[in-house]
Amino acid sequence: MAAVTGLETVGAGAGPAAPRPGRPRVWRGVVFLLAALYFLVPLGASLWYTVYTPTTGLSLAPYGQLLTAEGFASSLLLSLGLAIATIVVVLLLTLPAMLAVRLAAPRLRPVMEVLCTLPLVVPPITFVAGLGTSLRVGGDVLAPTPFWATLIAVQDPGFPIVLVLAYVVLVLPFVYRSLDAGLRTMDVRTLVEAARNLGASWPHVMFRVIVPNLRSAMASASFLTLALVLGEFTVARLLGYQPFAVWIVTISGSKGQLSVAVSILSLVLIWLLLLAVSSAFGKEKKS
């Protein structure tokens, strides 16, 4: 009886302490509310600025002007094309190289990590200054050769491949970290050896074994690449091109409401594109 009474006493004493796990939920709610206010209040103020003027009152005219604004469609399509090309190129370059190093030369992993994260050390203004100088000098050196036409083609204002190459360098550290985190969660060597022993070719191993297990990592890399390309200004502006971010800054001096409306629209567009990328890469492969 004493033992039972002791257990009942302990149980009774432990009763009031039960509500404690509910406290973190309150703090999570407070933090979420503060974060929502931090992001939504400036966004709401920007939206109000675009739809209200003291003279005319509420009006959606700035959003209607977007459809006829000069350069809006072309700059937006250019940025989207650059983003897609950058995602494809950086994944095709980085993923096979990382797999080759992990499978054939593990000792080179520190070297590859340093090379891939090196763009973080170089300021963008320095990077674009060196790139511009190289293009000018390269044009003079390659003028007597057939490669001069190739150098001119990569600088075509309609679709500047040189911007794709520059963006690949800028996003390389983020893509490497995303893919490296995904590769660390799986036994790459065992999966590859098992697939090869079953007669699978290297393309089959890559696209049917490795890529499905890296969907989340590839989605993260695509998120970061898309956000960087759509918001990048320095490289494109100094090289003389006009993607979406440069176009927004160009019109901001003369049409304030229109530029803010474009910024809000671009933010919504980026959210939608991120959801699309998440749907394309983030779904787990069904067995």
pLDDT digits (tens, 9 = 90+) for 26-75: 888 888 888 888 888 888 888 888 887 777 777 777 777 777 778 888 88
Spatial distance between the Cα atoms of 130 and 123, rounded to a whole number of angstroms:
11
Q: How far is CA 17 from CA 13, 21, 22, 25, 245, in A?
A: 8, 9, 11, 16, 55
Q: Give pLDDT, residue 7.
A: 44
Quick: pLDDT tens for 224-283: 898 899 888 889 999 889 898 888 888 776 667 777 888 788 788 778 877 777 776 655
pTM value is 0.78
Alpha helices per DSSP H over 105-142: 109-117, 124-142
Both tokens assigned to 76: 């937006």
* Higher pLDDT, residue 93 or 281: 93
Quote the mean pLDDT of the chain. Answer: 81
* Low-confidence winner among 14-18, 59-63, 77-81, 126-130 (lowest mean pLDDT): 14-18
Mapping DSSP to helix (H, G, I), strand (E, B) and coil, where does residue 141 land?
helix
Beta strands 57-58 and 52-53, pairing class: antiparallel
Return all residues near 185 (Cβ < 8 A) that are at least 6 apart: none
Domain boundaries, the chain: 70-277
Does the structure show a pLDDT above 80 at 17? no
pLDDT number for residue 89: 95
| Position 167, amino acid | Y
CATH topology of domain 70-277: MetI-like fold (1.10.3720)
